[in-house]
Structure 1
Amino acid sequence: MFGRQYVWVTVGILALIFLAAFEALAVTTVMPIISAALDGDSLYALAFSGPLAVGVVGMVAAGNWSDRSGPVPVVLTAVVLFVVGLVIAGTAASMPALIVGRLVHGLGGGALSVSLYVVVARVYPQRMHPAIFGAFAGAWVVPSLIGPFIAGLVAEYTSWRWVFLGVVVLVLAAMGMLRPGLASIAAAERERPVGVREPWRLSRTLWSLGAAAAVLCASMAAQLPGALLWVGTGAAFVLAGVALRPLLPAGTLSGRRGLPVVMTIRGLVSGAFLSTEVYLPALLTGEYRLSPVLAGLALSCAGITWALASWLQGRYATVLSDAGSMLLGSVLLLIAVAASAATSALGLPPAVAIAGWAVAGAGMGTLVPRQSGRVLRLSAPEQQGFNSSALLIADSIGAALALAATAVVFVAFAPLGGTATYTASFTLSALLAVGGLLLVGRVGHDAPPAAAA
């Protein structure tokens, strides 16, 4: 990956992923502080599910645009949106304003994630894909070590605003490193015959807007009174399912064997993981009175084990089949979510949840790189953008809908007080992990990819 032919593309991509990882971990760590400062407890879940929802629009548009014109203009546009969103969030004077910034940031982040997948497909030979996707997760190592810790320090001793604003300059520097690689990709794209370019598919963008709107409505449904809470949530989930059908491979919603079930599992495990990770720092700071720095330790542990497991997937890709990797990862994730639920329900020491979340990172690091590589192997070149965006849509929508569901659970169990709301939320997350585990048998047992050189 770091030979002369690939070095600048590799460094630039990993730098952008590094910063995206830092931002995600930092915001998750300090969001309880931001929510308290801006009186935004009622919008806490929306601050996470909103960016994921609008990110779907960015993913769909980026997939179509990348298949038609190559990934270069998509990367540039996505970075602009990413930076603008950071600035809006960092200067927000209210929780709604911060969410607007998060939405713009999410739109750019969704487009960026898909376009970087297509950059990988255009630049690296297939035999290197397990290694490069392992390196993607490896780029989370340093942010995992320092991101939550630094974010906690910044929030405690300066201002949470610098968690957003401090990243802006670094993103621009990363683009400077990626520029030579993008120039070479653009030159190659100009040589592609016009006849093989994909047409614009605006209908898919409209469906993505519908899916995003449905997820946002589901996220806001927790604020409805009485029976409207359940009616609104159910209606939003149904609309989300309808809008998602054209955006995913046929059979994804039913878990059909082959490529579709890989997407299904991705949505379930992402929902289980993020819906637990978002509320774990709130449990540790609110119920156990840990500082944000110590609460961030759970995220650090998970990020480290995620990166380590991903590196092992790239280095020893022939040891486990795709199905074996997904089975192992799903089991580890379920164990970790169960540890969080047990900590909340039984009043166990917070170290149990923190250690358990390190297991969750190992599970996701075992799952995600193998799923990404499998999707690219099963995709024709002209479908790489669509299927890459579909995988990330399943990831984002699965997580966003899980967060919307946990927001409803919080409202329903709030009268019980104490840790009951966290226990109920983590239980729901565990059920999602069980769903992913039960579907692994439909992945199939194709031969694992060749070992990375």
Structure 2
Amino acid sequence: MDSDIRPPGILRGPYALTTVGAWSLVFLAAFESLAVTTIMPIVTADLDGRGLYALAFSSTLAAGVVGMVGFGSWADRRGPAVPLLVSVGTFALGLIVAGTATSMPVFVAGRFLQGLGAGGETVALYVLVAMVYPSALHIKIFGAFASAWVLPSMVGPFAAGLVADALSWHWVFLGVVALVGVSTALMLPSLKGRDRADPVRATSADARRVIEAAVVAVSVVALSSLGEIEPVIAWLLVPVAVVVIGVALRHLVPAGTYRMRAGLPATVAFCGIAGGVFFGTEVYLPLLLHDRYGLPTWLSGITLTAGAIAWALASAVQGRLGDRLDPGTAIRAGAALLAGGALTELVTVVLHLPPAVAAVGWFAAGAGMGTLYPRISTLVLALSAPGEEGFNTAAKSITDAVGASASLAVAGLLFALFPFIGPFTLTSLLGVAAVLVASGRVGTPSRR
């Protein structure tokens, strides 16, 4: 019977090379974002650039937001082939500039190019997925992408440190360039003929969105830096930054996102809430285990690794289940796991529970994210009209970044007033909000 016929897997038939190439590109972008954290003390010491330490990270974040919007609009107008090749080339150029840098400003410029290329690469890959893979395989490929983001958290820091010690920090960047080239070559057959037959010319609205993305990026960086100034001034600047981001963001997300209108708007907004819960909790968990429980740094790190493993496992499970599990059910289950994980950290602090409880809670939170993210990516494509995949995918990624940054900024200010209880209360409340939104607002194709 036709209902028994299943499409070939993402590693079989015409999809194998595309899957390996796309997965590798996502993995390499994620590896670089984590590897830099490990080697930055060495880089800044070698280049005498400790004063630009934070800028080396924030410039990449800001450029990524601009890349998502600019390349996303380009992919919608023309198709994914050329935007993907240009974004990958920009990422590779950033690796070369950073890897050969002899001064900190040049290194920061390389990091900016890496962020610009990685942001555009992500969106262009999503548009390519929409054109190459049948909808039944979307959950599988997005599950694979999720594992490509999580796996570097387990091997990236160690590998980067090993390369830096054995060779030089320069090779953490230069050594990846060849791998990027090989990964791109694997995808070339699938890029042929993917340009749209009637490409649309860029308009003033496209230019305006890029400018607004730059405003959002700068505001997010400023919001993330509020913890470095006087608390009173910081609390006064939080609503200002939020208003600026809200005004600039309104044309970068689907209409109705702020009202969380059921369907695509609520799905995009939900991604930002989920990111705020997870990343706002994650940064304080190692500090809690170290300061309150006296655990060594390596043991605190194992707790975070457990969450990453849970994320990867849950993503793999979603890929295996595919469309046999209703997306709404999966998202509600993921939201419940994520909220439960955040609440567990809060209860652990309030009741002074053993650190093992916090570890279990974080494993649940990681499983929640692994359940959510492949489903959200699949839903965004399923709910996108032809020619809107790049815009909507960029919107999802931007709200994720904005939600995480806003949560981190407010959590930092709350930590100064109420250590650990303040941040975990915030993320627990966001977790409850995520459950409520997931219960009926997050859309599925059948509800549109």
Q: Which of 124, 134, 138 does residue 147 from structure 2 map onto?
A: 138
Q: Describe the SS at the equivalent of 2:316.
A: helix
Confirm or deny: 8 A CA contact 2:272 2:400 kept in the other structure.
yes
Q: Which of 435, 438, 449 does residue 436 from structure 2 map onto?
A: 438
Matched, 1:275 2:280: yes
Matched, 1:374 2:340: no
Q: Look up the match of 1:358.
A: 363
**Structure 1 letter corresponding to 2:197:** P
Quick one: distance in 2 between partners of 1:42 and 1:287?
31
Confirm or deny: 8 A CA contact 2:18 2:190 kept in the other structure.
no
Q: Which of 107, 111, 128 does residue 119 from structure 1 map onto?
A: 128
Confirm or deny: 8 A CA contact 1:153 1:293 kept in the other structure.
no
What is the CA distance between 1:95 and its match in structure 2?
Answer: 9.2
Q: Describe the SS at the equivalent of 2:322.
A: coil
1:398–1:130 distance in 2 versus 1, CA, 3 Å: same
Quick one: distance in 2 between partners of 1:35 and 1:439?
43
Confirm or deny: 8 A CA contact 1:54 1:103 kept in the other structure.
yes
Q: Look up the match of 2:393.
A: 388
Q: How does 1:13-412 map to 2 (within 5 A)?
A: 13-26=22-35, 51-83=60-92, 85=94, 102-140=111-149, 142-150=151-159, 162=169, 165-189=171-195, 192-194=196-198, 196-197=199-200, 199-200=202-203, 201-225=206-230, 227-284=232-289, 290-345=295-350, 347-410=352-415, 412=416
Residue-by-residue CA offset, 1:349-376 (whole Å, 9 max, x unaligned): 4433333222111101111111111111
Confirm or deny: 8 A CA contact 2:91 2:113 kept in the other structure.
yes
More relative contact order, 1 or 2 (CA 8 Å, 6+ apart): 1
1:136–1:54 distance in 2 versus 1, CA, 3 Å: same
Quick one: distance in 1 between partners of 2:335 and 2:242?
24
% identical aligned pairs: 43
**Structure 1 letter corresponding to 2:424:** F
Quick one: distance in 1 between partners of 2:181 and 2:346?
41
What is the CA distance between 1:347 and its match in structure 2?
Answer: 4.9
Confirm or deny: 8 A CA contact 1:305 1:365 kept in the other structure.
yes
What is the CA distance between 1:224 and its match in structure 2?
Answer: 3.4
Quick one: distance in 2 between partners of 1:35 and 1:345?
39
1:158–1:229 distance in 2 versus 1, CA, 3 Å: farther
Q: In terms of mean alpha carbon deviation, does 99-108 or 300-309 score higher?
A: 99-108
1:256–1:61 distance in 2 versus 1, CA, 3 Å: same
1:282–1:74 distance in 2 versus 1, CA, 3 Å: farther
What is the CA distance between 1:182 and its match in structure 2?
Answer: 2.8
Residue-by-residue CA offset, 1:316-357 (whole Å, 9 max, x unaligned): 234442222111111111122223334455554443333322
What is the CA distance between 1:56 and its match in structure 2?
Answer: 1.4
Q: Describe the SS at the equivalent of 2:250.
A: helix
Confirm or deny: 8 A CA contact 2:96 2:173 kept in the other structure.
no
Confirm or deny: 8 A CA contact 2:163 2:171 kept in the other structure.
no
Quick one: distance in 2 between partners of 1:349 and 1:41?
39
Confirm or deny: 8 A CA contact 2:266 2:443 kept in the other structure.
no
Confirm or deny: 8 A CA contact 2:66 2:217 kept in the other structure.
yes
Residue-by-residue CA offset, 1:251-288 (whole Å, 9 max, x unaligned): 11121111100011100101111222233344445665
1:170–1:31 distance in 2 versus 1, CA, 3 Å: closer
Confirm or deny: 8 A CA contact 1:53 1:397 kept in the other structure.
no
Quick one: distance in 2 between partners of 1:36 and 1:299?
28
Q: Which runs of 5 or more residues in structure 2 are unaligned?
A: 1-9
Quick one: distance in 1 between partners of 2:300 and 2:399?
28
Quick one: distance in 2 between partners of 1:298 and 1:151?
20
What is the CA distance between 1:295 and its match in structure 2?
Answer: 3.2
What is the CA distance between 1:199 and its match in structure 2?
Answer: 3.2
Residue-by-residue CA offset, 1:105-155 (whole Å, 9 max, x unaligned): 333221121111112112112221111111212334643543355467778
Q: Which runs of 5 or more residues in structure 1 are unaligned?
A: 414-419
1:50–1:301 distance in 2 versus 1, CA, 3 Å: farther
**Structure 2 letter corresponding to 1:193:** A
Confirm or deny: 8 A CA contact 2:64 2:117 kept in the other structure.
yes
What is the CA distance between 1:67 and its match in structure 2?
Answer: 1.5
Q: Look up the match of 1:417.
A: none
TM-score, with length taken from structure 1? 0.82
Q: In terms of mean alpha carbon deviation, does 175-184 or 144-153 score higher?
A: 144-153
Confirm or deny: 8 A CA contact 2:279 2:404 kept in the other structure.
yes
Q: Look up the match of 2:425.
A: 427
Q: Describe the SS at the equivalent of 2:256.
A: coil
Confirm or deny: 8 A CA contact 1:248 1:390 kept in the other structure.
yes
TM-score, with length taken from structure 2? 0.83
Quick one: distance in 2 between partners of 1:223 and 1:137?
32
The alignment covers a number of residue pairs equal to 435
Q: In terms of mean alpha carbon deviation, does 201-210 or 172-181 score higher?
A: 172-181
**Structure 1 letter corresponding to 2:390:** G
Confirm or deny: 8 A CA contact 1:56 1:397 kept in the other structure.
no
Confirm or deny: 8 A CA contact 1:268 1:432 kept in the other structure.
yes
Quick one: distance in 2 between partners of 1:150 and 1:355?
27
Confirm or deny: 8 A CA contact 1:323 1:443 kept in the other structure.
no
What is the CA distance between 1:19 and its match in structure 2?
Answer: 2.2
Quick one: distance in 2 between partners of 1:288 and 1:80?
46
Q: Look up the match of 2:6.
A: none
